[in-house]
Amino acid sequence: MLYLLDLAGVFVFALSGALMGVRKRLDVVGMGVLAGMTSLGGGLVRDLILNVRPAAFQSTGYVLVPLAATVIVFFFHPHVARVMPAILVLDAAGLGLFCAVGTQKAMEYGLSPLHAVLCGVLTAVGGGMIRDVLAGEIPTLLYDRQLYAVPALVGSALMAGLHLYGVTGWQATLAAALLAFGLRITAMRRKWRAPLARGLTE
């Protein structure tokens, strides 16, 4: 079940990467690269930090799913763009799942809680950073005005805390993922924003 949920998160992130390729008027190869980096980049960097074989290279699903998302966007991008509100909800779910799984894996490999939290956030937002850099955009993480990284940080912190108290398995993953998901959805609906430096206005 966790594997299928992970692939679902990969699919949603890949859709956003491929759509970025459409907006940048890239060809299908460029769309595929952005889809793959958006959906898998954070996990790849995390696993390299942990010095383990990346999960993306342990199953063909992690290759086929971004390719499928690229094909869908290539042929049906106007329709995909129209259902973006629903995709953003799924994106929030993927964010929650990725931050929880990333933190858990880092803790299992012996990282301190603080470093595990950083790995969890990196898993959740790292792919988006790579996508933005490749597309010539300022990474959204650097101006987190829609509270994207903050929910991942809160979810990762809960995951690390639960692990310290011996709460592991799907229950901990679900709790951390739901917290990050709920915070992200609430931020979107209430238009919460991260604060600017003192004295600056919108």
Degrees, nearest 5: CA angle 25-131-80: 55
End-to-end CA distance of the chain: 43
Task: Provide the pLDDT for residue 191.
Answer: 82
Task: Provide the pLDDT for residue 192.
Answer: 83
Task: Provide the pLDDT for residue 145.
Answer: 62
For residue 126, count other CB atoms closer than 10 A to its CB: 24
Contact between 193 and 145 under an 8 Å Cβ cutoff? The reply is: yes
Q: Crossing angle of helices 113-134/84-108, nearest 10°?
A: 140
21: containing domain: 2-190
Instruction: Give the total number of structural domains in the chain.
Output: 1
Q: Is residue 196 part of a domain?
A: no
Task: Provide the pLDDT for residue 1.
Answer: 66
Q: Is residue 200 part of a domain?
A: no
Q: Is residue 158 part of a domain?
A: yes
Task: Provide the pLDDT for residue 128.
Answer: 87
Task: Provide the pLDDT for residue 46.
Answer: 92
Task: Provide the pLDDT for residue 202.
Answer: 62
* Mean pLDDT, each 10-residue run in order, the chain (202 residues): 79 89 92 94 92 88 94 91 80 88 91 94 91 86 77 95 86 91 91 79 66
Indicate if the alpha-carbon torsion angle 137, 141, 147, 151 is positive or negative. Answer: positive
Task: Provide the pLDDT for residue 155.
Answer: 95
Q: Is residue 32 part of a domain?
A: yes
